[in-house]
Amino acid sequence: MIILCNVVIVVVMGLSGSGKSYLAKLLHRYWGFEWIRSDEIRKKLAGIEPTKHVREAFGEGIYSQDWTERVYSQMVKMAEDLVKEGKKVVLDATFLKEWQRELVKSAFPDAIFLLAEASDETIRRRLREREDISDATEEIYLKQKEVFERPSYAVVVNTEKSEEELRELLQNLLSAKGV
């Protein structure tokens, strides 16, 4: 794998419903980041329409470890291609396990990891009300909580803050990294 240093790769990770995609959308809209979503890549690889919901048990079907490896590897490959074009990239996925984050770190040692968080009540409400390509349910969220390997190196972002507060936080973080 090619190692690309000093590039702007932001990994937005966390449990389903935590606000990952919201942060990624802000990075895309206000700072021009190319947005790579695991939900979209997974369905594209499986030949499924992105808007079609797939109800699989946690860790089964297109959500098995083999599929997840394919999805995350594809995300890194896409990021490498975009970086070669001089673009900034945000990777939007749960990244529940350290091996998943290692795929990114091996290609992008300087990647910025953001851990999206919100209260249990907020996450459950978001999952019930969401109209999105994500297939996550409250049951999936609870399973994710059981297996999540929390990284000590990620910047924790409470996504219950206002858009203005989140934009300021992201701006400060990017400025500190020279973006």
- Write down all domains in the chain, each with its CATH number in brackets: 9-176 (3.40.50.300)
pLDDT in tens, 97-121: 999 999 999 999 999 999 999 999 9
User: What's residue 44's pLDDT?
Assistant: 83
Sorting pLDDT into bands at 50, 70 and 90, what band is 50? low
CB 114: neighbour CB atoms within 10 A?
Answer: 24
User: What's residue 59's pLDDT?
Assistant: 56
User: What's residue 1's pLDDT?
Assistant: 37
Asked whether the whole model's pTM tops 0.85, one would answer yes
Mean pLDDT over 126-132 rounds to: 78
- Mean pLDDT is lowest, of 21-25, 116-120, 173-177, for 173-177
Tell me the sheet residues that pair with 34: 89
User: What's residue 20's pLDDT?
Assistant: 94
**HSE-up of residue 152 (Cα within 13 Å, Cβ side):** 0
User: What's residue 65's pLDDT?
Assistant: 75
What is the DSSP annotation of 26-55? HHHHHH--EEEEHHHHHHHHHT--TTS---
Strands (E), the chain: 9-13, 34-37, 89-92, 112-117, 155-158
